[in-house]
Amino acid sequence: MSIDPTTTSAWSELTQLAKTPVNLAAAFAADENRAARYTLRAGDLVADLSKNLITDEIITQLLALADQTQVAEYRERMYRGERINVTEDRSVLHTALRRPAGDELEVDGENVVDAVHRELEKVFTFATQVRTGQWRGVSGKRITDVVNIGIGGSDLGPMMAYEALKPYVSEDVTCHFVSNIDPSDIADTTAHLDAETTLVIVASKTFTTLETLTNARLARTWLLDSLRAAGVITADEDNTAVARHFVAVSTALDKVAAFGIDPNNAFGFWDWVGGRYSVDSAIGTALAVAIGPERFREFLTGFHTMDQHFATAEPKSNLPLLMGLLNVWYVNFLDAHTHAILPYDQHLHRFAAYLQQLTMESNGKRVRADGSEVNYHTGEVFWGEPGTNGQHAFYQLIHQGSRLIPCDFIAMANPAHALRDGDQDVHELFLANFFAQSKALAFGKSAEQVRAEGTAEAIVPARVFPGNKPSTSIMAARLSPKVLGELIALYEHITFVQGAVWGIDSFDQWGVELGKQLASALAPAVAGDREALKATDASTRNLINTYLQLRE
Ligand code: F6P
């Protein structure tokens, strides 16, 4: 039986506490140590939680809520490899992907840590071969471009991390990421590539995903057509060419073989790794090629550092636990609907996109793990853009709109590119914006301050910033592979904590199935089959008819 969190005493206490709004300005005035007291360290990350709408009493009750919903026990069960993904009857063991070699964790009679390291070594050998030019295309040329074809967790993780770790990426190999079944994606990507020097990684946990298999077939056709047109291969050399230019990453190696990729050129992982938790498995092969085995190991160390922190830090200083509980506080007691992710680091420009799958595919659930319906809100909408682009787009609403939007600001002390504009260090200017935004959100600008600037009375209200808007600021020295691993694991565990309190299964994703089924069922109607069109509902029929009229 799942625990209904609303039946706990902590939930009742928090409901009461929410009736007395926290005033950030007053809280800082009353306690000069507030910033220090609420600043935590986890690995290389420093997180300042002091600008959240919290008091010690609220934190005490949030921790009580975690106790009463057995978050710690659930965490232990996850780390041990119990089948906590109940609707798919699977273990949830992304934490095993980053345990050091030599550790032991037995699942179904196998030491999964050994299995993880065996597979990692295969990935690293391959990555080194590509990076050193030992792996050659069918015409003997070295690989200059890698195209990762995958979607969801088989795309977002490696793509986000590739962008984030640009300063560590090899100059000899460029990675590209194709995910959308919109033919423009593969067409635009291959348009600039030379088939003789291109290697395709087909990444799919299930190896059944329509988008990925369609794109993989399109890529194969492009590759073989291009090689034939260049006179590099003859009609009977297709398999040789595919073997030199296609590798796969999957848990379904039989399906890889059926697709025509040599299983010797395939890297495996396990059903206990959720797609959105898989960037640190073989799904990260493109990233391993780009940054190399050493850096990839550092990336894994970052994850493991955060896993250890989550497992062992005292509740009061446990960053993922507290950040997850804060999200529960905002969603369930202060009526927040969304959460903004605002990295002040251009290289994290796909971080919010990555987190959208991690958080929303995980916690977008309305029944608990035992099937009972929730009577409280669960997963909030995560969204965001890197600063300062977001400032000139949607910050208006965060500052002066009517909704409460908790924000996570993320910044690195050291820039990847130290540029100066005359006397001005541009990174300092950038970070001044990072500091200014959380300050403006927390402390606002009063009517008196606006008037003092000589503002006409009629427009004073429009220029007031109410303040008291919550935010967390996360900093690290620089965006290294290790720090990126820590950041990703931090959000994995925040997501876990929220799901644990809510009693939901954060590891299944049944909500994506219906659309997939309907797309397959509607394909004949879209192709003009009158009977299929007649069989569908009136609204969809109307839309498809409109499309058929517009299609040239
Ligand atoms: O969107 C559903 C989903 O199953 C995701 O969870 C997953 O990351 C994505 O599709 C891709 O799946 P696969 O790696 O099996 O191709």
Between CA 422 and CA 432, with CA 426 as vertex, the angle to 5 degrees is 125
Residue 209 Cβ inside 6 Å of ligand 1? The answer reads yes
Residue 157 Cβ inside 6 Å of ligand 1? The answer reads no
pLDDT for the residue 122: 97
pLDDT along the chain (552 residues), means of 10: 95 98 98 98 98 98 98 98 97 98 94 97 98 97 98 98 98 98 98 97 96 97 97 93 96 92 93 97 98 98 98 98 99 98 98 98 98 98 96 98 98 96 97 98 98 98 98 98 98 98 98 95 96 97 97 92
Lookup: tokens for 488:
């990703």
Residue by residue, what is the 3-state secondary structure of 45-112? EEEECCCCCCCHHHHHHHHHHHHHCCHHHHHHHHHHCCCCECCCCECCCHHHHHCCCCCCCEECCEEH
Coil, helix or strand at residue 25: helix
Can you give the length of the chain in residues?
A: 552
Residue 149 Cβ inside 6 Å of ligand 1? The answer reads no
Contacts with 396 (C-beta within 8 Å, 6 or more apart), sequence order: none
Residue 509 Cβ inside 6 Å of ligand 1? The answer reads yes
Residue 248 Cβ inside 6 Å of ligand 1? The answer reads no
Residue 252 Cβ inside 6 Å of ligand 1? The answer reads no
Distance between CA atoms of residues 161 and 183, nearest Å: 24
Which helix or strand (DSSP H or E) is residue 218 part of? helix 210-229
Q: Which segments of 272-398 are extended strands (E)?
A: 338-344, 381-383
CA 424 to centroid of ligand 1, rounded, Å:
45
Residue 512 Cβ inside 6 Å of ligand 1? The answer reads yes
Specify whether 392 is catalytic: yes
Distance between CA atoms of residues 42 and 311, nearest Å: 12
- The active-site residue out of 211, 361, 385, 486 is 361
CA 86 to centroid of ligand 1, rounded, Å:
18
Q: Which atom of ligand 1 is nearest to the CA of 278?
A: 8
Strands 106-107 and 110-111 turn out to be antiparallel
Distance between CA atoms of residues 22 and 468, nearest Å: 8
Distance between CA atoms of residues 2 and 75, nearest Å: 15
Number of neighbours of residue 514 by Cβ within 10 angstroms = 9
Distance between CA atoms of residues 77 and 120, nearest Å: 25
Residue 214 Cβ inside 6 Å of ligand 1? The answer reads no
CA 152 to centroid of ligand 1, rounded, Å:
5
Q: Which atom of ligand 1 is nearest to the CA of 283?
A: 14
Q: Name the CA dihedral angle for 109, 113, 118, 119, rounded to a multiple of 10 degrees.
A: 100
pTM of the model: 0.98
Contacts with 271 (C-beta within 8 Å, 6 or more apart), sequence order: 88, 90, 251
pLDDT for the residue 104: 96
Distance between CA atoms of residues 376 and 273, nearest Å: 29
Specify whether 516 is catalytic: yes
CA 208 to centroid of ligand 1, rounded, Å:
9
User: Backbone phi, then psi, for 250, in 5-degree steps?
Assistant: -165, 165
CA 209 to centroid of ligand 1, rounded, Å:
7
CA 540 to centroid of ligand 1, rounded, Å:
26
pLDDT for the residue 235: 85
- The active-site residue out of 76, 294, 337, 392 is 392
Sign of CA dihedral 186, 359, 76, 322: positive
